[in-house]
């Protein structure tokens, strides 16, 4: 059996009972380590599971899947994924490869940012398409995410923006020269995300991301519990002007608030606001949602 197992959001104890039973039955266990990260080291997972884990970077998952699937028709093999297994298209691809090889597969689900984002107070059925925001470079500033945000905004829906992480990435020079030298890990901060969003709004001029009038909610380490999870709400302008330390440790995500919003959503998120008066005023004057 080939198992694709979700680990949840935080630490070694977030795995489900079913997932843990599957892990203990496996002879080889890979830990996918590039689409997201857990908040603990691999060794802590190994101690809890009682099993050795093999780190699977992007090269292995995307180009060496045959090695991961080797003998999975004769023994149990698992790929562990932070969050839920189908949070990234890469994982769909490896299941399809397993099926094409006639290997039995089983997916064990878990919590992910896609449903845990409800912790910020916004109702999940009011979310539209989720988008990813990548690090811009001097020569590469992809802006297709803007069209998805606009489509959501036109329907009044919230947009979950997943912020980029760079783990085991090569510089353009090292990549071109074929040198296996990797850059230090980088995690996009909320102020950087706001800056990039504002840059594309100015370029596209669609009128959907007005820094002083667009409400947003920043989250980090959702599911991490007291002392780790951080939620901050405000206008894009307010969030962009905060010191990055205000938002806690990575990983970070950002929600662009849509105008089809219920007053209970505004009231709940108000408790996390940079400035309650500004939050209420913008909610009333721009979003037509009063708490009075």
Hey, what are 292's tokens? 């009075």
Say whether 161 counts as a known binding-site residue: no
Residue length of the chain: 292
Say whether 206 counts as a known binding-site residue: no
Say whether 9 counts as a known binding-site residue: yes
Say whether 154 counts as a known binding-site residue: no
Distance between CA 19 and CA 78 in Å, rounded? 10
Distance between CA 292 and CA 277 in Å, rounded? 12
Say whether 50 counts as a known binding-site residue: no
Say whether 288 counts as a known binding-site residue: no
Say whether 87 counts as a known binding-site residue: yes
Q: Where is the binding site, in residues?
A: 9, 84, 87, 112-113, 163, 222, 252
Give the residue numbers of the binding site for S-adenosyl-L-methionine.
Answer: 9, 84, 87, 112-113, 163, 222, 252
């Amino acid at each position: 059996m080939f198992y694709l197992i979700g680990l949840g959001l935080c630490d070694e104890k977030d795995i489900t009972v079913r997932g843990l039973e599957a892990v203990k039955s496996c002879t080889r266990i890979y830990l996918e380590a590039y689409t997201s990260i857990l908040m603990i080291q691999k060794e802590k997972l190994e101690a809890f599971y009682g099993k050795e884990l093999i780190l699977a970077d992007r090269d292995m998952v995307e180009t060496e899947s045959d090695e991961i699937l080797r003998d999975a028709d004769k023994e149990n093999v698992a790929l562990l994924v932070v969050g839920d297994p189908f949070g990234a298209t890469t994982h769909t691809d490896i299941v399809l490869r397993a099926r094409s090889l006639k290997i039995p597969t089983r997916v064990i689900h878990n919590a992910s940012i896609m449903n845990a984002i409800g912790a910020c107070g916004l109702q999940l059925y009011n979310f539209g398409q989720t988008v990813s925001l990548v690090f811009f470079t001097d020569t590469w500033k992809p802006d297709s995410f803007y069209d998805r945000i606009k489509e959501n905004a036109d329907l009044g829906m919230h947009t979950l923006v997943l912020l980029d992480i760079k783990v085991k990435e090569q510089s353009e020079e090292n990549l071109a020269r074929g040198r296996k030298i990797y850059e230090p890990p980088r995690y996009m901060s909320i102020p950087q995300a706001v800056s990039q969003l504002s840059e594309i709004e100015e370029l596209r001029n669609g009128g959907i991301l007005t820094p002083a009038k667009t409400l947003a909610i920043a989250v980090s380490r959702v599911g991490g519990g007291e002392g780790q999870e951080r939620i901050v709400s405000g206008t894009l302008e307010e969030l962009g002007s905060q010191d990055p330390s205000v938002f806690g440790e990575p990983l970070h995500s950002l929600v662009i608030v849509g105008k089809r919003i219920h007053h209970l959503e505004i009231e709940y998120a108000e408790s996390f606001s940079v400035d309650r008066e500004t939050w209420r005023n913008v909610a009333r004057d721009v979003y037509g949602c009063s708490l009075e």
